[in-house]
């Protein structure tokens, strides 16, 4: 659900304007980045928990603390932490993941039904970009680019869901 995660970050910008877009995008995919880091450096021992509730909560707190230290605003810190949590919440829609290590597997697993996953992602992209485009400080040239971003995100999502050679 990368496009959906990015769309959530874009939408969150409406309320978290002082945070750089890169910060928002990072927070929105932090569990996946953490997962990759755990795979690359197994001695860190973080891999199995990145997409569990305890792992996501720990990551959200860590990102919130770093955000609070860097930007010195609790509201921004809470927003960045919520973006981390939004990642796992969204993944429970698209995947089946354990609630905790060796815990029960939950989720709708929409990846198994590509058209349903695509519709969820497309809706998330539409809402996220609508929120982004309505951000009060967004300049007019950037607003004109939102439609192009939407087409690009939907195209990437279609390739993810349906592939290039599915004809």
**Domain boundary assignment for the chain:** 2-162
C-alpha closest to that of 80 among 60, 100, 96, 94: 60
Confirm whether pTM is higher than 0.95. no
List of residues 6+ apart from 113 with CB closer than 8 A: none
Helix, coil or strand: residue 98: strand
- Distance from C-alpha of 66 to C-alpha of 70, rounded to nearest angstrom: 6
Q: What's the confidence (pLDDT) of residue 161? A: 92
* Residue indicated by tokens 């990145």: 50
For residue 101, the tally of other CB atoms under 10 A from its CB is 10
First to last CA, the chain: 23
- Distance from C-alpha of 72 to C-alpha of 98, rounded to nearest angstrom: 34
For residue 145, the tally of other CB atoms under 10 A from its CB is 12
Q: What's the confidence (pLDDT) of residue 167? A: 47
User: Are the beta carbons of 24 and 16 closer than 8 angstroms?
Assistant: yes
Helix, coil or strand: residue 148: helix
Q: What's the confidence (pLDDT) of residue 63? A: 96
| DSSP class per residue in 18-47 | TS-HHHHHHHHHHHHHHHHHHHH-GGG--G
Tokens representing 34 are 């953490």
pLDDT by residue, tens only, the chain of 167 residues = 679 999 999 999 999 999 999 999 999 999 998 888 877 887 766 677 889 999 999 999 999 999 999 999 999 999 999 999 999 999 999 999 999 989 999 999 999 999 999 999 999 999 999 999 988 877 776 777 899 999 999 999 999 999 865 54
User: Are the beta carbons of 7 and 125 closer than 8 angstroms?
Assistant: yes
């Amino acid at each position: 659900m990368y496009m959906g995660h990015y769309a959530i970050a874009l939408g969150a910008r409406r309320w978290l304007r002082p945070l750089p877009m890169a910060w928002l995008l990072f927070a929105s995919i932090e569990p996946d980045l953490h997962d990759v880091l755990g795979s690359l450096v197994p001695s860190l021992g973080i891999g199995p928990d990145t997409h569990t509730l305890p792992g996501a909560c720990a990551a959200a707190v860590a990102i919130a603390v770093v955000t609070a230290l860097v930007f010195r605003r609790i509201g921004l810190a809470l927003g960045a932490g919520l973006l981390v949590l939004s990642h796992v919440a969204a993944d429970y829609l698209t995947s089946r993941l354990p609630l905790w290590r060796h815990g029960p597997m939950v989720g709708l697993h929409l990846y198994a039904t590509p058209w349903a996953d695509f519709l969820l992602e497309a809706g998330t992209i539409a809402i996220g970009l609508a929120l982004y485009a309505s951000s009060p400080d967004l300049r007019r040239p950037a607003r004109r680019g939102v439609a192009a971003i939407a087409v690009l995100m939907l195209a990437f999502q279609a390739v993810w869901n349906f592939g290039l050679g599915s004809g």
